[in-house]
């Protein structure tokens, strides 16, 4: 364990790239955080109040909005604080807590989007059996499975990281992430790497693969169906696909930045790529509900 030290804090070095733009960033981030809270909370309230929206698709959307509020709390309050602060040190305890919130948010988001693709698959491919398959018990079970599985898997990741000894404490990040912390370790990280790989493979096989299968089957059904059925499937699935791709590419940006050198990129672009998957999906996903004409009418009637 050569040159290892017991650090009590990590330093978030990426804030040094922001410089005099910090007040501009703070204003923009504050507005974005307010919009995210307002949009997601409003739609949660609408779905809860309006009984006609107590359907599987809207229940899954509600779970998505709740998760986005949860994930936003892991980034925005600390982000806003460090933008205006002269020191960018974060305690080990809060760093690990932030990792836990952001990682469980990410895995739960993937799970929720996969469950929504399954819901669309049953709705379009087995419309006569839809109500028998997507019962309230099934819906609650799928939502709970999405949350609890991510909470357990990330808890193991955090427990493995807690045992590490570090040779440094500088993270080139705007927030804590587990990969950057593991790179600073002097102790053996084999278990961390193996578990991280297992979690990645598990979530790819359990979320992305079923999602692809669902849309392949939906496409097969649409090719054999009437123009009206194709249009209905298109209107139902397009917002979900856009939301899935939006989150996936944001998540991919973070992974690529962690494994490849990005110092040559302009600071503002690096900052945007750092926080893309934590800001854009919570802003974008409420449009899924608003893309549905019935949802717009309900919201308009409640507001006016």
Token reading at 120: 């669309």
Q: What is the DSSP string of 62-82?
A: HHHHHHHHHHHHHHHHHHHHH
- Lookup result for tokens 């002097």: 186
For residue 159, the number of C-alpha atoms closer than 13 Å in the C-beta half-sphere is: 7
Q: What DSSP element (H or E) covers 248? A: helix 227-259
* Residue of 210, 280, 202, 286 whose CA lies nearest to 248: 280
- Helix, strand, coil percentages (3-state) for the chain, rounded to 5, are 80, 5, 15
Global confidence as pTM? 0.87
Secondary structure E strands in 68-145: 89-91
Q: What pLDDT is attached to residue 293?
A: 45
Distances (CA, A) of 158 to 95, 111, 169: 10, 20, 17
Residue 131 forms part of a structural domain? yes
Residue 275, domain extent: 9-303
* Residue of 106, 110, 57, 119 whose CA lies nearest to 291: 57
Residue 4 forms part of a structural domain? no
Per-residue pLDDT of the chain (304 residues; tens, 9 = 90+): 455 556 788 988 888 767 677 888 889 889 999 999 998 998 898 888 888 778 888 899 899 999 999 999 988 999 889 888 888 889 989 999 999 999 999 899 889 988 988 998 888 888 888 888 999 899 999 999 999 999 999 999 999 998 888 888 888 888 888 888 888 888 888 888 888 888 888 887 888 888 888 888 888 887 777 777 677 777 777 777 778 877 877 777 777 666 665 556 666 677 777 778 788 888 888 876 666 545 545 444 544 4
Q: What pLDDT is attached to residue 143?
A: 92
In whole angstroms, give the CA distance from residue 196 to residue 157: 7
Residue 114 forms part of a structural domain? yes
**Are the C-beta atoms of 237 and 216 separated by less than 8 Å?**
no
Residue 145 sits in a domain of what CATH number?
1.20.1070.10
Count of domains observed in the chain: 1
Distances (CA, A) of 297 to 53, 161, 240, 294, 302: 12, 49, 20, 5, 9
Residue 265 forms part of a structural domain? yes
According to DSSP, the residues that pair with 11 across neighbouring strands are: 89, 170
- Lookup result for tokens 């998957």: 277
Q: Residue 103, exposed/middle/buried by CB under 10 A (0-12, 13-18, 19+)? A: buried
Residue 90 forms part of a structural domain? yes
**Are the C-beta atoms of 144 and 66 separated by less than 8 Å?**
no
In whole angstroms, give the CA distance from residue 238 to residue 251: 20
Q: What pLDDT is attached to residue 98?
A: 93
Residue 62 forms part of a structural domain? yes
Residue 2 forms part of a structural domain? no
CB atoms within 10 A of CB 264: 6
Residue 1 forms part of a structural domain? no
In whole angstroms, give the CA distance from residue 209 to residue 241: 14
Token reading at 172: 């080139």
């Amino acid at each position: 364990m050569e040159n290892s030290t017991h650090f009590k804090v990590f330093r978030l070095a990426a804030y040094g790239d922001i410089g005099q733009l910090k007040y501009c960033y703070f204003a923009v981030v504050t507005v974005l955080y307010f919009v995210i809270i307002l949009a997601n909370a409003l739609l949660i309230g609408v779905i809860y109040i309006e009984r006609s929206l107590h359907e599987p698709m809207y229940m899954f959307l509600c779970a998505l909005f709740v998760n986005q509020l949860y994930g936003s709390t892991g980034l925005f309050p600390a982000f806003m604080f460090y933008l205006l602060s002269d020191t960018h040190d974060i305690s080990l305890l809060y760093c690990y807590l932030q990792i836990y919130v952001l990682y469980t948010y990410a895995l739960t988001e993937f799970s929720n989007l996969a469950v929504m693709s399954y819901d669309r698959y049953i709705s379009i491919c087995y419309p006569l059996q839809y109500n028998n398959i997507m019962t309230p018990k099934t819906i609650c079970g799928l939502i709970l499975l999405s949350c609890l599985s991510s909470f357990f898997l990330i808890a193991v990741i955090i427990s493995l990281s807690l045992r590490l000894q570090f040779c440094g404490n500088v993270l080139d990040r705007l927030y804590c992430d587990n990969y950057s912390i593991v790179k600073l370790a002097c102790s053996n990280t084999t278990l961390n790497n193996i578990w991280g790989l297992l979690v990645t493979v598990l979530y790819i096989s359990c979320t992305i693969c079923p999602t692809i299968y669902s849309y392949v089957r939906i496409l097969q059904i649409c090719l054999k169906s009437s123009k009206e059925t194709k249009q209905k499937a298109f209107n139902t699935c397009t917002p979900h696909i856009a939301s899935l791709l939006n989150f996936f590419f944001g998540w991919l940006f973070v992974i690529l930045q962690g494994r490849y050198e990005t110092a040559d990129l302009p600071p503002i672009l690096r900052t945007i790529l750092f926080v893309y998957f934590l800001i854009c999906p919570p802003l974008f996903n409420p449009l899924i509900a608003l893309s549905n004409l019935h949802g717009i009418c309900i919201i308009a009637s409640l507001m006016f």
